[in-house]
Structure 1
Amino acid sequence: MKTLRVLLTVVSVLLPAAAAAQDFPAKPIKLIVPFPPGGPNDIIARVVGQRMSEIAKQPVVIDNRGGQAGVLGTDAIAKAAPDGYTIGIVSASALVINPTMEKVPYDVAKDFAPVTLVTTVPEMLVVASNVPAGDMKELIALAKAQPGKLNFASAGVGGMPHLAGELLKLTASIDIVHVPYRGAAPAINDLLGQQVQMAFLDLPVLLPHIKAGTLRPIALGAPKRAPTSPDVPTTAEVGMPDLLIENWYGMIAPAGTPEAIVNTLNRLANEAMNDPQVRQKLADQGLTVAGDTSGHFRDYIGSETKKWARVIKAANLASAK
C-alpha cells in the first residue's frame, strides 16, 4: 500500500510536467539578450527568434538587458522560472570568460540548462600596413627580434580579442604588449593610423579594411577558411593548430527546465537555424551557423572554460574572487 501511495505521488507530480512539456509553447517566449540593441548578440537573437516564432506559432519577444559585459542579463536568465518561457542567447564572455576572471552572481554549471550553440564568429589576426610581415612566420620572427616592442590592440581587457592576443603570446612564445581600447572601432582606427601593430578582432568588423587593403590579414582562428576571405589561411594551416580562436553565442534556459522542454527549444532553434534565409542573413554578418545538441553544447562550454582559464591564469588576468 505504501509503495502504491509513493507511485501515485510520483505520477501526480510527473503528469502535469509532461502535459506542460507536450503543450509547449502555449504562450509567448521571452528571449533575453544581455546586451543593448544593434550588436551581434542582438542581431542573432532577432534573426533566429523571428524564425522560431514562425515555427512555434507563438511570439518570441526580445528583451535587451545590457550591463556588466553581459553579466546582468545572463543573471536574469539564471533567476527566471524554469518553464522554458524565459530563455536567452548569450556570448562566450558571459558563460566562460567573465566567470573565470571575476566573481559573477551565477554558477554556469549549476544555474543553466544549455539548449544549443547558435553561431560562431572567427577572430582574424591582422597587422597594420607598415608592419614588415606578410605571414605568420615573418610576424613571429619580427616579434622575437624585437621583444616587448610590438603592440597588439584589443576591444577591451578580458574580451575575446584580448585573450586571443594572449594565446598568441603563449603559443608562439613571443613578447608583445597589450593595448586595450573601449571597443573595436577605436582599436581599428589606431591600427589604420599605425599606432599599434596588430590585433585579433571579429572577422565582420575587419572585412571592409581587408578588402580595401588598409589592413593586412595574417591568419584566421577558425577550423576552416571563411567564404568572405578565402585567400586567408587558418591558424592550423600556418602551423599553429592550438591557436583556434572563435567568439560564439549560444542559447540557454534556467536550470531545472524540464528536459522535454529543453529538447523542444533545441528543435525549434535548430529548425530555425537550418532555414536558408536565416543562414544567409547570419552569413551576411560574418557569422557561422552552428546548431547542436544540448549535451554537446554543455560539453563545449566546459572545454572552452578550461581552454581560456589556462590563458587567463598565464596572463594573470583573474581578479580575487
Structure 2
Amino acid sequence: MKISHSLMAATLALSSLAMAQDNYPSKAITLTVPNPPGGVVDTSARLLNEPLARVIGQPVVIDNKAGGSGNVAYGAVARAKADGYNLLISYSAYHVGNPALTPSLPWEAKDFAPIALLTVATNVIAAHPSVPANNLKEFIAYLKANPGKVNYASQGNGSLSHIGTEIFKQQSGTFMTHIPYRGSGPAVADVLAGQVQVFITTPPSVMQHVLNGKLKAFAVTGTKRHPGLPNVPTVAEAGMPDFKLEAWVGLFAPAATPPAVVAKLTADVKKALDMPETRQRADAAGIELRYLPPDALGELVKTETAYWAKTIKAAGIKAD
C-alpha cells in the first residue's frame, strides 16, 4: 500500500504540532500590556509574570505596548502567531468598551481566546466636602433636588470613570455634568480644589485624601469593602444594590491557539495566582485576585459587552 506524499506530510505536520503542544512552553512567553507601566493593568501583569514563570519554568516577559486606547496592543496580539507565546493582558474598559465606542477597530472580540480572569479593582464614589451629603442616599437625594448643579470628573471621554458614572446616573435617576480630564491626576486635583465635585475612580487615586478628610467617600462600587477604606460601605450596603462598577483584567490568547495550550495556561495561571506571595502583593496594591476559567471569562465578556454598549448608546458617549 502506497502512502501519498501529501498524506505523509500532513501526518508529520500533525505529529510535530502534537509534540510542540506536549513540550509547551519551551521558550519565553510575552505578555502584551495595552497600558504604560503603573496602574491596575500593568500591576496585574506584574503580579502574574514572576509566579507564572516559576510555575512553567520559562521566562514571562512584559511588553508595554500603549497607544490608541489599547488598540495598538490588541491589534498586535490579534495578528500574532497562535502558539501560546504571545498573550494579551486585557483591560475591561478596552475589551468591552472599545467595540461600542469606535466604529472601526484593528481587532474583534472573536480574535481572542479567553484564558483566565486575573484581577478586579473596585471604584469609590468620592466627593468634595462641600457636597451637602454624608452618605449615598443623601447624595442621591441632593442630586435629584439639584439636577445639573453637580459636575463630575472622568479620566476622559469613553473611560471607565466616564461610562461608570453614566451607569450610576441612569440607575439612580440623577443628572450630573461631565467634565473630562486627561488622566486621574488632574481630575483629582480639581476635585480637591472644589472646581469639580465628584469623581468615581479607583481607590489608590483618592484613598489618602479620603483618610485625611480632604474628600468624602460615599461607597465603593464592588461586592465587598476595600481593605484600605474599611469604613466605607459597598453600594449594596449603602442602598443601591443593582449598581456595580469593577474594572477587570484578564489574560487572552489569539483565537486559533490550540485548546490544549489554553488548558495548560489556565491551569498554570491559577497555580500562580494561588501562591501566598502573589496574594500578599495583590493586597498591598489594593487589587483583588479573582480567577475565572476560560468559559466563565468568555461569558463575562459577552454580558459586559452588551451592558456597556447599551449604556454608551443611551448616554451618547463618543471616544475622543
Q: Deviations over 1:166-196 (max 9, x none)?
A: 0111001111111111111111111110111
| Distance in 1 (alpha carbons) for counterparts of 2:198 and 2:295 | 37
**2:81·2:254 contact (CA, 8 Å) conserved in 1?**
yes
2:93 paired with 1:105? no
When the two structures are superposed, what TM-score results if normalisation uses the length of structure 2? 0.94
Report the AA paired with residue 186 of structure 1: P
Could you tell me which residue of structure 2 aligns to residue 25 of structure 1?
Answer: 25
How far did residue 212 of structure 1 move? 1.2
Normalising by structure 1, we get a TM-score of 0.94
Structure-to-structure mapping, 1:67-106, within 5 angstroms: 67-102=67-102, 103-106=104-107
Partner of 1:164: 164
1:156 maps to a residue whose letter is G
Amino acid at match of 2:42: D
State the one-letter code of the partner of 2:301.
Answer: I
Cα separation, 2, equivalents of 1:318 and 1:255 = 28
The answer as to whether partners of 2:33 and 2:42 remain within 8 angstroms in 1 is yes
Quote the offset at 1:16 in angstroms.
3.0
Q: Which residues of 2 match residues 46-195 of structure 1 at below 5 A?
A: 46-102=46-102, 103-108=104-109, 110-195=110-195
Q: Is 1:224 paired with 2:224?
A: yes
State the 1:11 CA deviation: 5.8
Distance 1:39 1:137 in 2: 31
Which one is further off, 221-230 or 307-316? 221-230
Q: Distance in 1 between matches of 2:308 and 2:274?
A: 30
Is this contact kept in 2: 1:70–1:93, CA < 8 A?
no
Could you list the per-position Cα deviations for residues 269-316 of structure 1 after superposition, in whole angstroms to 9, with x for gaps in the alignment? Answer: 111111111111122111100111111101111111111111101111
SS in 1 for 2:62: strand
| Alpha-carbon separation, structure 1, partners of 2:38 and 2:191 | 24
Check whether the contact 2:35–2:66 (CA below 8 A) recurs between aligned residues.
yes
**1:153 CA drift (Å):** 0.7
Structure 2: runs of 5 or more not aligned: none
Return the letter of the residue paired with 2:245. I
* 1:7-18 equivalent positions in 2, closer than 5 A: 14-18=14-18
User: Retained in 2: the 8 A contact 1:82–1:257?
Assistant: yes
1:13–1:241 distance in 2 versus 1, CA, 3 Å: farther
Find the residue that maps to 1:253 and give its secondary structure: strand
Q: Is the 8 A contact 2:153 2:181 kept in 1?
A: yes
Partner SS for 1:237: coil
In structure 2, what is the Cα distance between the partners aligned to 1:260 and 1:7?
24
Q: Is this contact kept in 1: 2:158–2:318, CA < 8 A?
A: no
Query: What does residue 281 of structure 1 align with?
Result: 281
Equivalent position SS for 1:291: strand
**Cα offset for 1:155?**
1.0
**In 1, Cα distance between the equivalents of 2:72 and 2:11?**
38
Shift of 1:55: 1.2
Secondary structure in 1 aligned to 2:248?
strand
Inter-partner Cα distance in structure 2 for 1:74 and 1:236: 34
Which residue does 1:238 correspond to in 2? 238
Provide Cα deviations, 1:83-134, integer angstroms capped at 9, x if missing partner.
Answer: 00100212012211111111211111x1001111110010110111111101
Helix, strand or coil at the partner of 1:290: strand
* 1:208 CA drift (Å): 1.2
Quote the sequence identity (%). Answer: 38
Contact residue 69 and residue 93 of structure 1 kept, 8 A: no
Deviation at 1:62, TM superposition (A): 1.1
What code does the residue aligned with 1:50 have? E
Aligned residue identity for 2:170: L
Q: CA separation in 2, counterparts of 1:14 and 1:244?
A: 47
Read off the aligned partner of 1:312 and give its amino acid letter.
I
1:28–1:61 contact (8 Å) kept in structure 2: yes
1:47 Cα deviation from its structure 2 partner: 2.4
For 1:229-308, list aligned pairs within 5 A. 229-308=229-308
Q: Is the 8 A contact 2:151 2:178 kept in 1?
A: yes
